């Protein structure tokens, strides 16, 4: 099978020639950038460079899918958030983030802009997807990344006001969740039209590390369901950290795949969500992929597979300084399964 056939086989609950290996989150690294001579910050801003960096996951690593974008700022910027450039400790370009102050307060009114898809860097992101589709055709699936409603709302309001509202005045945050859900859904549909085969929703702020499980159930679950109902392509849901307390509800969102960090229990996810939900993950990105050696990566991959994952993947966003050898080790494990 080629990479696309392999991934789609698993998504259709059929048996592939071997286990797929790719990232739900960004897998861009400086080592890959050197190989293809495409660098940040242009890879966050320019569609051609973004496409070259994304395709390196396939051309350099041998991953079974490629993924754009590499930051979580596209919807937020289009809705009025200020963006700060990414800087690593040694001065090299990193991953951009949301700057302060936020553009809104809870008392403000908010409307979804009609020109959303033409704002910020979204046109360059869509250009990148079209370039990748033209270059790779049907050989490799494209994962288009969007940000979940709670995380976008937190960017619009800041985290502390959003958390306080979830406890005291939830009605005040609902307009922001409405706009946030529409932003992610609108971008997802545009990504699919441009050529994306799979949509991954990252909703970092919905993690039990950030909000209570009850807040996720009461205020976020409905918006994730609505979003996924509107998206016809296969859907991956990624929420950071140990999601054991909310994984049963994650399985009720309509996601086809749950992306799990090793902190979460894939065995519990299988018990809570049943056989129809696919699980992806396998390797801790901060401690193992970034800091350890290929042998340690291999052992962690094998352990994750034994615990029942269906797609081998980094557990979260790959640190840009991650050694190529550690990522290549993942592919070698996948080839044996």
Supply angle C-alpha 83, 87, 88, rounded to 5. 145
Q: Looking up tokens 């909310």, which residue turns up?
A: 246
Give the pTM. Answer: 0.97
* Tokens coding 14: 């059929």
Q: How far apart are CA 177 and CA 194, in angstroms?
A: 26
How far are the Cα atoms of 18, 35, 55, 92, 323 from residue 28, in angstroms, in the given order? 24, 12, 10, 14, 11
Cis peptide before 101 (omega within 30 of 0): yes
223-270 pLDDT tens trace = 999 999 999 999 999 999 999 999 999 999 999 999 999 999 999 999
Distance, CA of 100 to CA of 104 (rounded, Å):
11
Query: Token pair for residue 292?
Result: 């350890």
CATH numeric code, 3-335: 3.20.20.210
For residues 238 and 196, what is the distance between their CA atoms, to the nearest angstrom? 17
- Quote the tokens at residue 61: 């690593």
Cα separation of 311 and 302, whole Å? 12
Name the nearest CA neighbour of 281 among 233, 239, 252. 239
Round to whole Å and give the CA distance between 215 and 244: 15
Find the helix or strand (DSSP H, E) in which 258 lies.
strand 257-260
- Digit-coded pLDDT (tens) for 86-116: 876 566 789 999 999 999 999 999 999 999 9
Contact 125, 46 (CB under 8 A): no
Rounded to an integer, what distance in angstroms lies between the CA atom of residue 216 and that of residue 84?
A: 28
Q: Please, is 107 exposed, middle or buried when counting C-beta atoms within 10 Å of its C-beta (0-12, 13-18, 19+)?
A: exposed
Q: What is the pLDDT of residue 237?
A: 98
- Strand residues in 114-187 grouped as ranges (E): 142-147
Residue 87, pLDDT score: 74
What span, in angstroms and rounded, lies between the C-alpha atoms of 337 and 326? 18
Query: What stretches in the chain show pLDDT beneath 50?
Result: none
What residue segments make up the domains of the chain, in order of their start?
3-335
Phi and psi dihedrals of 202, rounded to 5? -95, 120
């Amino acid at each position: 099978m080629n990479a696309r056939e392999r991934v789609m086989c698993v998504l259709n609950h059929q048996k592939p020639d071997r286990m797929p290996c790719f990232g739900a989150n960004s897998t861009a690294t400086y080592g890959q950038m050197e190989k293809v001579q495409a660098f940040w910050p242009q890879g966050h801003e320019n569609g051609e460079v973004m496409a070259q960096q994304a395709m390196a996951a396939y051309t350099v690593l041998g991953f079974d899918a490629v993924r754009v974008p590499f930051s979580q700022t596209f919807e937020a910027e289009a809705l009025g958030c200020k963006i700060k450039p990414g800087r690593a400790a040694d001065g090299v370009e990193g991953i951009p983030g949301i700057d302060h102050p936020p553009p809104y307060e809870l008392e403000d009114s908010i409307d979804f802009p009609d020109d959303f898809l033409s704002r910020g860097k979204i046109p360059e992101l869509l250009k990148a997807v079209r370039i990748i589709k033209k270059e790779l055709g049907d050989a490799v699936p494209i994962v288009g990344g969007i940000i979940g409603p709670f995380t976008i709302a937190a960017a619009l309001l800041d985290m502390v006001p959003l958390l306080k509202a979830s406890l005291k005045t939830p009605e005040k945050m609902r307009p922001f969740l409405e706009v946030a859900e529409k932003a992610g859904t609108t971008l997802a549909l545009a990504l699919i039209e441009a050529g994306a085969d799979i949509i991954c929703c990252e909703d970092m702020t919905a993690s039990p590390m950030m909000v209570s499980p009850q807040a996720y159930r009461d205020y976020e679950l409905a918006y994730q369901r609505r979003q996924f109902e509107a998206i016809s392509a296969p859907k991956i849901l990624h929420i950071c950290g140990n999601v054991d307390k909310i994984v049963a509800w994650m399985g009720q969102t309509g996601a086809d795949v749950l992306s799990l960090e090793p902190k979460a229990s894939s065995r519990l996810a299988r018990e809570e969500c049943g056989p129809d939900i696919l699980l992806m993950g396998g390797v801790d990105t901060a401690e193992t992929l970034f800091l350890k050696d290929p042998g340690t990566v291999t052992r962690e991959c094998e352990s994750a597979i034994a615990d029942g994952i269906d797609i081998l993947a980094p557990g979260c966003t790959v640190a840009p300084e991650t050694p190529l050898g550690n990522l290549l080790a993942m592919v070698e494990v996948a080839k044996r399964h």
